[in-house]
């Protein structure tokens, strides 16, 4: 007969697995999306993203192909990836990184050590460890975390911690439901998220399609210097 401690641990493990299964039951197992990227209204590239969930884990890959002048000007990472676990609360990142392409070494990365309660960030040859925040996400996983949020259309505000591999910041977005948006996929009903700005910070807006498991269909970022970046959906495939 197994020790009671073993049995108790097994019960906790099975309960956690059941909760995680419930959390992902309504979410797609795979998402394949393409976007066009604009800078101040000028097309600068195309973005291909894939989300896959299997066996209690997830993987997201986002690759940008520069176009026009951006082909010569772009020096930042073009390939981002995020891997981690599926839990009762949705995505729990383990590793995030950005690199020029699949063959190059990472230019920026973040390793989430949930057991030790810290995130190790590496960028520009530097390494920095910061305390982890509950529910922390990376800049890629956060865009798919909404698929697992309970009744996001009834939420009026999202608060979360997010890292881009260089820093960990807290963000607050105001939510407006039932906002209709014209896209290449047609006219969609969306949740409109608007970043609540701190002095000196940039502006950001996100539109999530309520018809497609809250996948982002448009993103607008306004930098402090006035540069406006847009990411607009072009195609979308979901697999349950």
How do residues 69-89 score in pLDDT, each as one tens digit?
Answer: 655 555 556 899 999 999 999
Q: Please indicate, yes or no, if residue 3 is contained in any of the structural domains.
A: no
For residue 2, give both structure tokens: 């197994």
Say what the pLDDT of residue 25 is: 59
**Closest by CA position to 220, among listed 207, 234, 209, 201:** 207
For residue 217, give both structure tokens: 């269909």
Say what the pLDDT of residue 191 is: 97
Say what the pLDDT of residue 19 is: 40
Mean pLDDT of 96-110: 90
Domain containing 69 — which CATH number?
2.50.20
Query: What is the three-class DSSP state of 199?
Result: coil
Q: Please indicate, yes or no, if residue 13 is contained in any of the structural domains.
A: no
Q: Please indicate, yes or no, if residue 6 is contained in any of the structural domains.
A: no
Say what the pLDDT of residue 174 is: 95
pLDDT band at 128 (very low <50, low <70, confident <90, very high): very high
State the residue range of the domain holding 141: 27-239
Q: Give the range among 46-50, 174-178, 191-195, 202-206 with minimum mean pLDDT.
A: 202-206
Number of domains making up the chain: 1
Q: Please indicate, yes or no, if residue 99 is contained in any of the structural domains.
A: yes
Distance CA 65, CA 74 (A): 10
Mean pLDDT of 210-232: 94
Say what the pLDDT of residue 36 is: 97
Most confident of 24-33, 77-86, 185-194, 200-209: 185-194
Distances (CA, A) of 100 to 22, 62, 78, 79, 158: 37, 12, 5, 6, 31
pLDDT band at 226 (very low <50, low <70, confident <90, very high): confident
pLDDT band at 126 (very low <50, low <70, confident <90, very high): very high
Mean pLDDT of 122-128: 94
**Per-residue pLDDT for 10 more than 50?**
no
Q: Please indicate, yes or no, if residue 20 is contained in any of the structural domains.
A: no
Say what the pLDDT of residue 1 is: 35
Say what the pLDDT of residue 71 is: 56
Which residues touch 229 (CB under 8 Å, ≥6 apart)?
A: 37, 38, 39, 220, 221, 222, 223
Q: Please indicate, yes or no, if residue 5 is contained in any of the structural domains.
A: no
Q: Give the range among 2-6, 119-123, 155-159 with minimum mean pLDDT.
A: 2-6
Contact 134, 162 (CB under 8 A): no
Residue with tokens 């979901």: 238
Residue with tokens 């604009």: 38
Contact 35, 231 (CB under 8 A): yes
Contact 173, 155 (CB under 8 A): no
Say what the pLDDT of residue 2 is: 33
Of all residues in the chain, the percent with pLDDT exceeding 70 is: 85
Residue positions counted in the chain? 240
Q: Please indicate, yes or no, if residue 1 is contained in any of the structural domains.
A: no
Say what the pLDDT of residue 240 is: 87
Say what the pLDDT of residue 78 is: 87
Say what the pLDDT of residue 133 is: 93
Q: Please indicate, yes or no, if residue 19 is contained in any of the structural domains.
A: no
Mean pLDDT of the chain: 86
């Amino acid at each position: 007969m197994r020790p009671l401690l073993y049995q108790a641990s097994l019960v906790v493990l099975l309960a956690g697995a059941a909760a995680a299964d419930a959390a992902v039951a309504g979410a797609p197992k795979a998402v394949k999306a393409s976007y066009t990227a604009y800078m101040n209204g000028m097309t600068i590239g195309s973005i291909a993203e894939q989300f896959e969930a299997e066996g209690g884990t997830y993987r997201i890959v986002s690759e940008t192909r520069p176009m026009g002048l951006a082909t010569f000007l772009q020096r930042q990472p073009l390939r981002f990836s995020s891997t981690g676990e599926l839990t009762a609360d949705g995505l729990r990142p383990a590793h995030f990184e950005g690199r020029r392409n699949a063959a190059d070494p990472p230019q920026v990365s973040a390793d989430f050590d949930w057991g030790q309660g810290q995130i190790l960030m590496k960028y520009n040859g530097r390494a920095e460890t910061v305390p982890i925040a509950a529910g922390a996400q990376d800049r890629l996983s956060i865009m798919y975390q909404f698929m697992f949020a309970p009744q996001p259309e009834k939420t009026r505000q999202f608060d979360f911690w997010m890292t881009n591999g260089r820093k960990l910041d807290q963000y607050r977005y105001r939510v407006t439901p039932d906002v209709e948006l014209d896209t290449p996929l047609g006219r969609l009903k969306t949740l409109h998220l608007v970043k609540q700005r701190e002095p000196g910070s940039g502006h950001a807006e996100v539109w999530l399609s309520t018809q497609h498991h809250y996948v982002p269909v448009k993103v607008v970022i306004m930098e402090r210097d006035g540069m406006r970046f847009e990411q607009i959906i072009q195609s979308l495939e979901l697999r349950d």
